Amino acid sequence: MSRGVRGPRSALTSFLEEKGITARHRRRQREALEAQIEQQAGTSASASSSSANVPVEIAEEEVEEETPEAETITMEVEEATSRRRSSGKKKAPEDDDDDDFLADIKSPSRNRAYSSGNGIEFCGQCRCRFMTNSSTKVTRAGKLCPACAEGKKTPKNAKPRKRKRANKLGKGTVFWDEDGVVPTLQDICIKIIGRYIDDVETLGDIGDYNMDKIAQIISKHRQLNNHTLKLFLDPIHQELSLYDCTKLDQTGLSGIAHFCPNLVSLSLNYCGRMNDDILKLYTTRFTQLKSLSLGGAFLITDQGFIAMLEALGPQLEKFCVEHTAKLSIQTVEVLSEKCPELREVRLVRCGKMDDLSLKPLEKLTKLEILDISYPGTSPTDDTLISILNHVGSNLTYLGVSDCQLLTDRFLLDGVRPCCPRLRELHIAGCSGISNSGVKELFTDWTLNEGFTGINLARCTTLDDEVLDAVIGHSKSALQYLNLNGLDELSEEGLTRFASAKCENLQELDLSWCRAVNDDIIGAFGQNCPALQSLKVWGCHRVTECALLPKQVKIIGRECDTL
């Protein structure tokens, strides 16, 4: 049928013909190689691997005599090995010409993988990858990995092993801002609203709790401005908390008074643009206000505070001011005279607070929460002992952090005899308080039922004896404990603490306690079932091997932050 008419020719076909590579040569070489492999399969199983590879080498030498191109012959020998893997299939007719040769050529990378020297192969029995060498065993199925060649692999029909039940304790998941649990549909919707808050026209009736969640989300992302503020303003609201008012100008802050006149509780944080005029507007509009919290209101003077306190008078029950430098003794005197019903007073980071400014607080006999942390000038023992003698009987919370002039006398003559109902004590950074004073405070204090929160951060002289006294007194009630920077704590003391089984402990800060290690962390995870948050900043001995329940957020682990 041939009339000298030929079809299209590829560049590869022309190249193979130039090198003298034809199907006839290839078939002869393949038959010789298969004969050698059959001979090898009949040899004894105890023969060495080097002797098992001799026929292959002989076959390669014979091929080299037939064709001058050593590289081409090597490729053909490897292709013959590839065809043996599919020996169960029907062979193609022998009259095929170029297509029979090209069928086994996959890609240039295949030639490199199947080269005669060291390379990467797939085992003909278990199909795993392995590195070939001169001692690799070759069978009809292909080259075998060392494990299959020695018969160490498990047969395919063997029964699978039973999987061990997973340990309840994992390695502990690192968490910075997320809770690490599957969120509810409600939480997902709230997060989506917070993400696209600029496109939301109204929130509708979603409840105060969900409204507060959305306020926290958009404040965290600095999205609270005059436009988004309107979503939270409604005359029916009685409580409003805005956590970042940085982008609210005086117009936005004034709008709160106009659109929410029925507020009972107002909390504004980072409200640096608020001034006396806005505070006076709040005084006239918020006729039912009982709770006021302002953070960062550094523009408000004594005149603004005094006008508000005189107007609200006895109805005010909570007054909290943080980060202000203009609040002085004049405001504190009016506060103690005009607002006798106050139950919570927080004057935190107020630059003008000192002994003289704090003295008028003695008149607030109904106080339950008192926080005067980080004052401009530290008060002395005599001033605070005098205050506690008047208001200490009802106190449940006392914060005197960074009052560095306080000594053991404040604890033993003020806190212990005057505060039997105290549940939270914050003395972080009080460098004048010694190890013996704290130990004596918690030893045999039968009038006090136990503390739910204790902050001993940066009291660097405290050691294991204090920790033993704290746990002995408040083990069953303790929910929060801050031991940040207590470098004197030893591994033995922390181990005793971890083994004490504080069943209600939820938050624990062990940052910069150098003795903390994986075993101690694991003991806390086992013995504190309510534990939710664990801080380990600066604890270089804590690794990813620490075993913790999944619900525990471990914060500040070095291996997770690098």
166's tokens: 């997973």
pLDDT of amino acid 194: 73
Please tell me the least confidently modeled range out of 132-136, 142-146, 365-369, 380-384: 132-136
Contact present, 63 and 71 (Cβ < 8 Å): no
Q: Closest Cα to residue 500, out of 524, 530, 517?
A: 524
Class of residue 497 by CB neighbours under 10 A (exposed 0-12, middle 13-18, buried 19+) = buried
Contact 256, 289 (CB under 8 A): no
Residue 390 confidence (pLDDT) above 70: yes
Neighbours of 377 (CB within 10 A): 15
The rounded distance, in Å, linking the Cα atoms of 135 and 132 is 8
Structure-derived torsion over alpha carbons of residues 462, 463, 465, 467, reported in degrees to the nearest 10: 80
What span, in angstroms and rounded, lies between the C-alpha atoms of 376 and 74?
Answer: 86
Please, how many CA atoms are within 13 Å of residue 83, restricted to the half-sphere of its CB? 22
pLDDT number for residue 118: 56
pLDDT bin (cut points 50, 70, 90) of residue 162 is low
Distance from C-alpha of 121 to C-alpha of 141, rounded to nearest angstrom: 13
Beta bridge partners of 269: 295
pLDDT digits (tens, 9 = 90+) for 474-512: 999 999 999 999 999 999 999 999 999 999 999 999 999
pLDDT at 357 over 80: yes
User: Helical H runs in 201-315?
Assistant: 207-220, 226-229, 250-259, 276-285, 302-312
Mean pLDDT computed over 32-57: 56
DSSP state letter for 224: -
C-alpha 292/C-alpha 525 separation (Å) is 39
Mean pLDDT, the chain, rounded, equals 81
For residue 16, what is the enclosing H or E element? helix 11-18
Answer yes or no: is pLDDT of 453 > 60.
Answer: yes
The model's pTM:
0.67
Provide the pLDDT confidence category of residue 384 given band limits of 50, 70 and 90: very high
